[in-house]
Structure 1
Amino acid sequence: MTGPRVVVTGVGPVTPIGIGRHDFWHAQLKGVSGIRTITRFDATGLPVRIVGEVDLPPGLAPGRREELTTDRSTHLALAATRLALDDAGLDLTALDRDRVGVVIGTGAGGASSWERNARLLQTDGPGRIGARSVVMSMANAPAANVAIAHGITGPSTSVATACASGAEALIVASQMIVSGEADVVLAGGAEAPITELIVAGFARVGALSTRNAEPGRAGRPFDADRDGFVLGEGAAVLVLESQDHARSRGAEVLAALEGYGRTSDAHHVAGPHPEGAGAARAIRRALRSAGWAPSDVSYVNAHGTGTRYNDDAEAKALHAALGDAAAHVPVSATKSMTGHALGAAGAVEAVASVLALWYGTVPPTLNLDSPDPAIGLDVVGAEPRPAELRAVLSDSFAFGGHNVVLAFGA
């Protein structure tokens, strides 16, 4: 990318396997599964009864008023932001907050608030729905509430490109910095889709794993016995800064966002292009943007949902874009542990990619008992793999054919 170099100085993951940089990273190394039986509602009548749920600790959980006036997606975004700011050692009160931005991606927005108020409308009438039903449910609520909570008066926006939203938020944030619009941007994704309607909807199209009796073994990207993804919730916010700004305050730099690629399949609203054509173009664009050759890539954090079609298409895309190097680059899938947090997934996986660079280790992929021979990739299985990592790709592909690939450098 041209212009100021964009660096990552703090991360705030809020996931089913760990909350905060250290807990999230060590849970990955241990191969912890965050998948369990649904507790948010009675799922007895559903064909799928397993998800990845987040338990916010008391210090990060919303207060009573916040709980009643904001959606759970906002609660997760606010928690992730606090963690990211602490991790970056960033005191916003010491900055010109006109020069600070916020970009939070989401796929489903305030889904639980919409669903709850729709039920109240049907059962009790319009006089019983919440007065804040609209502002709790709108997709920009997490970004707006982060800005309000921290007095951020620079650009604040939201991104909604389904499962690519969290990754695309980082691109929008980097563009704010490169253009000179901001020095610091809090960017990532937040999603709280554990609702009866969303679980039932994904189950209805056969996208979800039905391993209800063994939740920890349900997420199995690239395994020959995969049967669908596991829905999850969560958030992740990264602190992005211009390199000069980070240096001026003596910040620890975890990684650099060296480039990115974005394309559209223009193929199908739900299914990926069967040959991964759009995804391959996004990977190539990310490489060009970063100034890398395929042989430079030292790790790929895959989109890796665990559905038959998505894993196949992603593997084909990697082979098409990386050529001979594809068979030798370590690949792993965070969703095997966290589940698929839709609009937050790309941000969570960006954190995983940054930490892999920082700690020099490729995290594992759970449940890779029988690697699918058709994939043809070096998927890292149950044990983490120490490695000298310099150039990492993070893939995010979404319903609607949105393809986003981030390139992080050491």
Structure 2
Amino acid sequence: MSHVVSRLPVIVGFGGVNAAGRSSGHHGYRRMVLESLDAQERQDTLAALAVMMGLVSTDGDGYRDAEGTCYSLDEIEQHFAGQVRDGTLVRRIERTFFDVDAAHWQKSVNLQGADDQALSFEMAERDLPEPVPADWQLEPLGERRVKVTLVQGLEAKVDSYRDIPAKSAGQLPRGFDPGAHYNSRFHPRALQLAVVGASDAIQSMGIAWQQVADAIEPDQVGVYASSVMSQLDENGLGGLLQSRLKGGRVSAKQCPLGLNTMPADFINAYLIGSVGHTSALTGACASFLYNLRAAVEDIASGKVRLAVVGNAEAPITQEIIDGYATMGALASEDKLKKLDDTEQVDWRRSSRPFGDNCGFTIAEASQYVVLMDDALAVELGADIHGAVSDVFINADGFKKSISAPGAGNYITMAKAVAAARAIVGEESVRTRSMVQAHGSSTPQNRVTESEILDQVARTFGIEQWPVSAVKAFVGHSLSAASGEQLVASLGVFKYGIIPGVKTIDRVADDVLGERLHIPLKDLERRNDPLDVVFLNSKGFGGNNATASVLAPHVVERMLAKRYGEQVIGAYRERRESVRAQAAAYDKAASRGEFRVLYHFGENLIDERQIEMDGQGVRLPGYRQPINLAFTNRFADMT
């Protein structure tokens, strides 16, 4: 059988937003390693976050607060660094969500009349229940009011407020409202995050979407996006399910907008106008890697040439937190107090991967990447931030508990390392690779994941394997979690700094780390850059996934071998203007000008103008036709 040459899926854009800030331009990554940056990078990061949080504004010529006071970059750091630090990363849940000390619920009570008398009260006729219960005795009072008498008393629900034990979360930077940047009326928060995150990724390319669309056939675009928890706030399925119990009405938008496919649907319909492939895969906490694998395989096989991949999650609701807390999965106030032997909890350190911990910290986030096949990237001069060579997914086999870890992650990690070894060589894997661990901050995860990583390291001759865990900074965003790992890895490639697990004082005694290096401070690799990063995810139900991500210098070396230095030299020249456009977008976004892509009711396809023949389909508004000249891929069987 002849060797089949695969197209390499390269990363040409990335964006989103999480507790660390905006992803494009490496801003969120730089927040994680803030203390390891030089002065200029640190001040630029703080200033962009200060603008994003509404602490200051800028027109590109200095910064001003709400009272008109002007600040230089140095003064921004002096006056606002504390507020930026306090208002980002994992922290106590803020009242814009709900009051964790007095969260609303309804208490069931049994009301009886005083002194063994019947219970009676007055009410308006229009407020009577339908139908009136058989044991209600009604006496008209005039003016459309009635007296109600109940011999047996009344079962009722009354507003109450109680403490929520899990009081921290990875929240968007304080003051940043994603829905304020486009016409987001009635959109659930996770859908708002999807629109803002995908728009950020697309614009970060530095290539106008229309230029990309003109270069490929309309059906050679793929969108792979979802939300694993659906949209469970008031504007989505949460409001749908609560409406009858609250005495309200279901809206026409809550059901459709609540579906977990909506992120993909909105990107297609309102951001890029795609008629290509669409997919919304979910695999619990590994959902991003599920979507990434589908995109990588479709690009490698030539089914699509460009893919928008990502997930958005907004799980900071009382109901979702109640659900995970009841499972015992979240870090609670009492458990943290006991762990630290203190009455004052440091919520900033509630997420503690591989340390002495007691549960994960939930988070909201939106992370998207844009992939192209290598030929399209070279043709357009796209700036390549890395490449995803493989994503492996394996289940656990028979399980005693659906939430318990199992054998599948041993398989995915071993296959990912072996596949990378086949591409970059044994030496690169042994000495120039690292792991972005799932690192959920549960006692079970710290043991089981470390055992897997240590055994894989032993198998492949790796010693002191660097292991990072971004959940220490941003919490666990469920479906988007591996997107946060990927974006952080691109930052590591760019700056050579591996984020340390800075929320722990030491690695826990039961972590098997003989061959692992879990740094507690940022680890610099500027002089010894990494060639490959492995993203690892362990999801409920046995949804294990591991991806291999190649560094941009490795990708460029591979492209030079495939295309030759002359072609790559011309590519580098085209790339300069693309980088300039990407920098211009980053500068505008750092000034608060996100320019979110959202085209509602625009550029609709007039179906009467669709033309087709046996060779292709032509759509109005699209430069290239859709090819219908198929060949028989089962020719050896027919």
Q: Report TM bin, short chain.
A: over 0.9
Tell me the equivalent position of 2:405.
Answer: 272
Identify which range, 245-254 or 44-53, moves more after superposition. Answer: 44-53
Correspondences of 1:55-70 after superposition (within 5 Å): 55=173, 60-62=178-180, 65-68=183-186, 70=187
**2:34 counterpart of 1:34:** no
State the Cα RMSD in Å. Answer: 2.1
Q: Which amino acid in 1 is paired with 2:282? A: A
- Asked if the contact 2:198–2:310 (Cα under 8 Å) also holds between the matched residues in 1, the reply is no
String of CA shifts for 1:54-104, please: whole Å, max 9, x gaps: 149779535675231x22111111111111112211322121443211101
Tell me which of 463, 469, 476 is aligned to 1:340. Answer: 476
Partner of 2:237: 114
**Counterpart for residue 171 of structure 2:** 53
Question: Counterparts of 2:204 and 2:483 in 1: how far apart (Å)?
Answer: 16
CA–CA separation in structure 1 for the residues paired with 2:451 and 2:498: 21
1:327, distance to aligned residue in structure 2 (A): 4.5
Aligned equivalents of 2:518 and 2:350: distance in 1? 17
Structure 1 residue 303 and structure 2 residue 450: aligned?
A: no
- Which residue identity lines up with residue 278 of structure 1 in the other structure? G
Q: Where does residue 192 of structure 2 map in the other structure?
A: 75
Across the two proteins, how many residue pairs are aligned to each other? Answer: 403
Task: Describe the shift of the 1:280–1:28 C-alpha distance in structure 2 as closer, same or farther (beyond 3 A).
Answer: same
- What fraction of aligned residue pairs are identical, expressed as a percent? 26
Correspondence for 2:73:
none
Distance 1:121 1:65, change over 3 A: farther
Match of 2:299 among 177, 182, 191: 177
Once the two structures are superposed, residues 352-402 of structure 1 have per-residue CA deviations (whole angstroms, 9 ceiling, x without a partner) of 122212332212212120211332121121324224100110101100111
CA distance in 1, matches of 2:243, 2:475: 30
Find the aligned partners of 2:357 and 2:468 in 1 and give their Cα distance: 15
1:318 aligns with 2:435: no
Matched, 1:404 2:404: no
Aligned with residue 494 of structure 2, among 337, 352, 358: 358
Q: Decide whether the 8 Å contact of 1:169 with 1:187 is kept in 2.
A: yes
Equivalence map 1:131-210=2 (5 Å) = 131-149=252-270, 150-210=272-332
Q: Distance in 1 between matches of 2:534 and 2:28?
A: 19
State the one-letter code of the partner of 1:118.
L
Pick aligned residue for 1:245 from 368, 376, 379: 376
Contact persistence 2:23–2:367 (CA under 8 A): no
Partner AA of 1:167 in structure 2: L
Structure with more relative contact order (C-alpha pairs < 8 Å, separation 6 or more): 1
Normalising by the residue count of structure 2, what TM-score does the alignment of the two structures yield? 0.60
Q: Tell me, which stretches of 5 or more residues in structure 1 are unaligned?
A: none
Aligned mates of 2:313, 2:14 — CA distance in 1: 17
User: 1 CA distance for matches of 2:221 and 2:523?
Assistant: 36
Q: Is 1:17 aligned to residue 140 of structure 2?
A: no
1:329 is the counterpart of 2:452:
no
Structure 1 Cα separation of the partners of residues 502 and 181 of structure 2: 35
**1:393 aligned residue:** 534
Distance in 2, Cα, partners of 1:398 & 1:162 = 5
Which amino acid is 1:119 matched to? Answer: Q
TM-score, length-scaled by structure 1: 0.93
**Whole-Å separation in 1 of the counterparts to 2:5 and 2:532:** 18
Counterpart residue type for residue 443 of structure 2: R
The CA deviation string for residues 3-22 of structure 1, in whole angstroms up to 9 with x for no partner, is 10111111103111111333
Whether the 8 Å CA contact 1:300–1:329 is kept in 2: the answer is yes
2:517 pairs with 1:378: yes
Quick one: which amino acid aligns to residue 90 of structure 2?
Answer: I
321, 329, 351: which one pairs with 1:219? 351
Q: Deviations over 1:105-139 (max 9, x none)?
A: 322011212222222221215xx111111111101
Distance 1:58-1:198 versus aligned 2 partners, 3 A rule: closer
Decide whether aligned partners of structure 1 residues 237 and 279 sit closer, same or farther in structure 2, where only a CA change above 3 A counts: same
Q: 1:174 to 1:62 in 2, by over 3 A?
A: farther
Task: Return closer, same or farther for 1:296/1:256 CA change in 2, 3 Å cut-off.
Answer: farther
4+ runs of 1 displaced by more than 6 Å? 56-59
Give how far 1:259 is off: 1.6
Amino acid at match of 2:98: F
Residue 209 of structure 1 contacts residue 218 of structure 1 at CA under 8 Å; is this kept in 2? yes
Deviation at 1:37, TM superposition (A): 2.1
**1:66 alignment partner, SS class:** coil
- Helix, strand or coil: the match of 1:111? coil
| Residue 208 (structure 1) shift | 0.9
Partner of 1:129: 250
1:254–1:355 contact (8 Å) kept in structure 2: no
Task: Name the CA distance, whole Å, in 2 between partners of 1:2 and 1:286.
Answer: 19
What is the Cα deviation at residue 296 of structure 1? 5.5
> Which residue number corresponds to residue 627 of structure 2?
none
Structure 1 residues 46-55 or 161-170, which shifts more?
46-55
Instruction: Show structure 2 runs of 5+ residues with no match.
Output: 36-84, 102-162, 337-344, 552-638
